[in-house]
Amino acid sequence: MEILLADDEKAIAVTLKDDLERAGHRVAVVGDGLAAKELLATRRFDVVISDIRMPGMDGMSLLKHVREGYPDTEVILITGYGTIESAVEAMKSGAFEYLLKPFYNDEILLLLDRLAEIRDLRRENVELREALGRRGRLDNIIGRSPAMQKVFDRIRVVAPTDSNVLIEGESGTGKELVAQAIHHLSERKDGPFVAFSCAEMTPSLLEDYLFGHEKGAYTDAREPRKGLFERADGGTLFLDEIDDTPLSVQVKLLRVLQERRFERLGGEEPISVDVRLVAATKVNLADAVREGSFREDLFYRLNVIPLKLPPLRQRRGDVIVLAEHFLKRYGRGRPYEIPPAVMEKMERYSWPGNVRQLENAVERAVALAGNETVLREEHLLGDQPRLPAEGEAPGEVLTLEEARRKAEIRAILSALACTGGHKAQAAKILGISRKNLWEKMRDYGIENP
């Protein structure tokens, strides 16, 4: 560390300087407080070690000057005339430590080791806060396809508002990343972001998680506990898999969204909260409303701003970008490569598990590559599930018209085979007229068996 040593006792200054430099520190020595003040104005120091009684400016005045002008610099005070009162005053004024003369130089070295650990922790804390901030920015959601550009535009528009958002998308499309982006681009970015999945929860357990409980609310409730709504107060609550919420909990969730208050389980005192709700679903909630598994009034409360995420198969060109990103993440600096022919097959593949499936495939391929840097097709696509239509080449993505055509050809051939080529009976099995069957056989080039 860069250390400024201010002491008018030359013997102490010389011996302490030698020990500090042997320990790897860089040390500048001055004989009074005014000289220390002047040097501080020209150089950055991590630590000031100062005697209290010095000519020009004493150590306590130097301490206050450092605290006011150089908040990142720590101060260790040393004195041969210590009192309890002066020690208390020094610590209240912001000194890191207060040592009485005579002292062992090793004591100073130990204090500097502690300071180094604290400095590293502070730096890690700053880096962590910056990383958490980056998590929610749009540059953390990867995609250059037109479909994703529309999503980015939508996020930029809705984030500054305070309205509830309903994100719809298949599993693995990045719904939580989008929710984080909405939070961090909103006025609530300095508040908490709380994420939770409602999947496969019993009504009582989900209610406990959402609203918390008071002591004695049930047998194991030994202490009161805050729920998710309280923890997200002033920020954003992200509820994933909202479609799995039991109807009994949907009623209470609706009340919170309407009144912005609730009671904990076993409690009677209303708790008011200021929370923006972002919900996500893997199914069409409007269909769930028609089927009776989701409340219509709650659906309208959640669906103030709908945001639909496209599946990876509809994001033309994003497979390459995402694959390169995951190669950097899991390659740990090693230059892995995916052959162009394999990348082409990856682009055509449907990726039913979406971005999450692609990420797992790249991570697995890197892990199985051994000493090779060119990733193999069998590791990237070898055990991936096939497309639904039978008879398709692995990795082929069909239009709906192509899929319907292939399905009809298989059904017609199967019906003709069952009836020994009897068209009237085959048409009856297929549920169409004989004329319609003849036209389809002509259009598809099917000859009578």
For the record, the structure tokens of 189 come out as: 């970015």
Residue for token pair 């007229």: 433
- What confidence score (pLDDT) does residue 220 get? 77
Question: CA–CA separation, 238 vs 278, rounded Å?
Answer: 5
Question: CA–CA separation, 315 vs 358, rounded Å?
Answer: 13
Residue for token pair 């039991």: 246
How deeply is 159 buried, as exposed, middle or buried, from its count of CB atoms within 10 A (0-12, 13-18, 19+)? buried
Question: CA–CA separation, 1 vs 14, rounded Å?
Answer: 18
Domains defined along the chain, listed by start = 2-127 (3.40.50.2300), 138-308 (3.40.50.300), 313-380 (1.10.8.60), 400-444 (1.10.10)
Asked if 62 contacts 48 with a C-beta cutoff of 8 angstroms, the reply is yes
* Dihedrals phi, psi of 366, to nearest 5 degrees: -65, -40
Angle between helices 434-444 and 400-418 (to 10 degrees): 120
Question: CA–CA separation, 355 vs 142, rounded Å?
Answer: 10
Question: CA–CA separation, 33 vs 228, rounded Å?
Answer: 54
Positions of E strands within 135-257: 165-168, 193-197, 212-213, 225-226, 236-240
Computed on alpha carbons and rounded to an integer, the radius of gyration of the chain in Å comes to 34
Count each helix (H run) and each strand (E run) in the chain, helices first. Answer: 19, 14
Q: 51-93 pLDDT, tens per residue? A: 988 888 888 899 999 988 888 899 999 888 777 788 888 888 8
One digit per residue, the tens of pLDDT, for the chain of length 449 reads 899 999 888 888 899 999 999 989 999 999 888 999 999 998 899 999 999 888 888 888 999 999 888 888 999 998 887 777 888 888 888 888 888 888 888 989 998 988 888 888 777 766 665 555 444 456 678 888 999 999 999 999 999 999 999 999 988 899 999 999 999 999 999 999 999 999 878 888 899 999 988 888 777 778 888 899 999 999 999 999 999 999 999 999 999 999 999 988 888 889 999 999 999 998 889 989 998 999 999 999 999 999 999 999 999 889 999 999 999 889 888 888 898 888 888 988 888 888 988 998 999 899 988 888 898 888 888 654 444 434 444 445 567 777 788 888 888 887 787 676 778 777 777 878 777 888 888 877 787 65
Q: 197-243 pLDDT, tens per residue? A: 998 788 888 999 999 888 887 777 788 888 999 999 999 999 999 99
Please state whether the peptide bond connecting residue 102 to the residue before it is cis, i.e. omega within 30 degrees of 0. Answer: yes
First to last CA, the chain: 89
Amino acid (1-letter code) at residue 370: G
- What confidence score (pLDDT) does residue 390 get? 40
For the record, the structure tokens of 441 come out as: 């056989």
